[in-house]
Amino acid sequence: MPHFFNFDGLDHSLFILQNLCHGSRNYCMQEKLGRTLPRESPGASDEPLGKIAPATSIDRWYSYYGHLKSSVSETVIEAAVKLRMLQDFVRSDHDDIDICDMDRRAIDGNVLGIIEPEAEKLTLRECANKVIHATDAQLEWIKSESDGSPYEYWSGNYILSGTKGNIPWRLTLYILPWSAAMTRFNLIVQEEVDWHHVHKHDQ
């Protein structure tokens, strides 16, 4: 039998990831987080000698950035690896199940991202391959302003790049539709694979 898959745990992680996407703009606006100091804010040099300056919006933005990228990276990697393992197991153990059809139904016509150089329409498996083989990963940020205070928030896109052979590639992964499709695939594979039979003879 295969490894044990914690489907509920993956669903939970994808749920949090989607909420991080939805909440970034409002959070960064409310907290005035950005890599540009608000015009009315004093710089650290204005603090008296010997007094610790309060954290600036730049300091807090970098703290937010670190926590956010860690969370996004961990969830995307976990989901990508589990998808590959699930698909490989189902393909080898269930001849009557069409994994490619499961992938298509989970995507449900949505666009998961943009791949350069342009290739065929992205599948969940191809996205997983790119996550696993990426040598660089960056969150995409958008600059904005509210009531005269600049802020910078995550767009919800995760930019991955690497090489295949000697050819460089770049994937802009749209986290919201991708995570929704991953959640649907998780549900489909639970419903259509007889996991009771799979685990029946586990020792």
In this prediction, residue 41 carries a pLDDT of: 47
Mean pLDDT of 29-54: 59
In this prediction, residue 1 carries a pLDDT of: 53
Q: Which pLDDT band, with edges at 50, 70 and 90, does 37 fall under?
A: low
Give 174-178 contacts, CB < 8 A, sequence gap 24+: 174/111, 174/112, 174/113, 175/17, 175/18, 175/21, 175/72, 175/76, 176/18, 176/21, 176/22, 177/110, 177/111, 177/112, 178/112, 178/113, 178/124, 178/127
User: What percent of the chain is modeled with pLDDT above 90?
Assistant: 56
pLDDT at 17 over 60: yes
Segment of 17-21, 41-45, 199-203 carrying the highest mean pLDDT: 17-21
As a whole number of angstroms, the distance between CA 87 and CA 15 comes to 21
In this prediction, residue 163 carries a pLDDT of: 93
Cβ atoms of 108 and 169 closer than 8 Å: no
pLDDT at 51 over 60: no
Cβ atoms of 95 and 103 closer than 8 Å: no
Edge to edge, the sheet with strand 113-116 lists: 113-116, 167-174, 149-164, 136-146
As a whole number of angstroms, the distance between CA 61 and CA 192 comes to 44
pLDDT at 47 over 90: no
Smallest CA-to-CA distance from 139 within 57, 30, 17, 27 is with: 17
| Continuous H helices in 32-161 | 57-93, 99-107, 124-133
In this prediction, residue 194 carries a pLDDT of: 61
Distances (CA, A) of 3 to 30, 170, 195, 199: 43, 31, 12, 10
pLDDT in tens, 142-184: 999 998 888 999 999 999 999 988 899 999 999 999 999 999 9
- Classified as helix, coil or strand, 152 is strand
User: What percent of the chain is modeled with pLDDT above 70?
Assistant: 80
Partners of 159 in the beta sheet?
Answer: 138, 172
